[in-house]
Amino acid sequence: MKKLIILLAIPFIISCSSTKTIKFSQKADDIVTTQSLKEFLINNKTPKVVLRVPRSTYSVTDSEKNENIQVENKDYLYGAIENQLLASGFIVRDRQLFNQIIGNDENNIDYKKLKEKSDTDLIIELTKLDTKIIYETNNYYDKKNKLKVENYGTHKEYGASVEFKIVLINSNEFAGVYKFNYTPCVDGCIISKSLKDIQKEMRLYKKKGVTPYEGVEKNIMEDFIKNATFQLVTEMRK
């Protein structure tokens, strides 16, 4: 009976493993740069900047630890932004020290005094970082690259976005806002797998288990953030 079930199941598995590819169109970025910022950067080739980031309020529960769910730590992304700013010729100030300067004045500090105390020209504020934007479609491309509609259900992938706000400290001027988007599967993602790959994954699962990852994977996210920061500098200097 076991052999009969396996023989009957093989055609079903093979039919379900035909090549399918999904694609999403790149979401447009939102860019606003003031004339004041453009002129400032023309006259200041190596500006002194500080990155301000949202305070982390995420705490890990015991159940999440027991379920071995990977909790996102964004410090590596903040470091990637600062490294890219350095590579672009900016002088990057210590953000913790900058926050202490503001804190010591009870958040009621004159911006000109802040410039003197911190020796900083620009605040680059990371206002939002979302690594769990869901892109969904019921369309797919077959192995002949023909667009088709899924009979049952939809396919989902994680995308991401990052938003920056720029402040000119000397004039306390809101000088720019930038939103960059990571759209998954722009060049296509294969969503069906061969029988061989399925068997390989099953052996790996039995041996090690699988660690869930909710959101855009770390290496992809880091590349996106580096590229977004490079685009940020390029747009600011246009």
pLDDT of residue 108: 56
Distance, CA of 85 to CA of 95 (rounded, Å): 13
Burial 48-68 (b: 16+ CB within 10 A, else e): bbbbbbeeeeeeeeeeeeeee
pLDDT of residue 105: 57
For residue 34, give both structure tokens.
Answer: 């003031």
Local confidence band at 207 (pLDDT 50, 70, 90 cut-offs): low
pLDDT of 2 over the 70 cut: no
pLDDT of 133 over the 90 cut: yes
Handedness of CA 195, 196, 197, 198 (dihedral sign): positive
pLDDT of residue 117: 84
Instruction: Locate all alpha helices (DSSP H) within 46-194, ordered by sequence.
Output: 62-66, 75-87, 95-104, 111-118
pLDDT of residue 56: 53
What is the percent of the chain where pLDDT is above 90? 53
Higher pLDDT, 82 or 4: 82
In eight-state DSSP terms, residue 144 is T
Give me the half-sphere count of Cα atoms (radius 13 Å) on the Cβ side of residue 64.
Answer: 10
pLDDT of 65 over the 60 cut: no
**pLDDT tens by residue, 70-109:** 445 788 999 999 999 999 999 999 998 888 887 775 545 6
pLDDT of residue 151: 85
Closest CA to 44 of 91, 9, 114: 91
Range of weakest confidence among 13-27, 119-133, 193-207: 193-207
pLDDT of residue 66: 41
Burial 161-193 (b: 16+ CB within 10 A, else e): bbbbbbbbbeeeeebbbbbbbbbbbeeeeeeee
Inter-axis angle of helices 111-118 and 95-104, to 10 degrees?
A: 130
Summarize the confidence of residues 156-175 as an average pLDDT: 94
Distance, CA of 51 to CA of 29 (rounded, Å): 21
Burial 15-36 (b: 16+ CB within 10 A, else e): eeeeebbbbbeebeeebebeee
pLDDT of residue 195: 64
Burial 81-96 (b: 16+ CB within 10 A, else e): bbebbeebebebbebe
The CB density around residue 141, as the number of other CB atoms within 10 Å, is: 17
pLDDT of 1 over the 70 cut: no
Look up the pTM and report it. 0.78
Summarize the confidence of residues 178-197 as an average pLDDT: 85
Range of weakest confidence among 21-30, 97-106, 181-190, 229-238: 97-106
pLDDT of 32 over the 90 cut: yes
Mean pLDDT across the chain: 81
pLDDT of residue 58: 38
pLDDT of residue 210: 52
Higher pLDDT, 125 or 5: 125
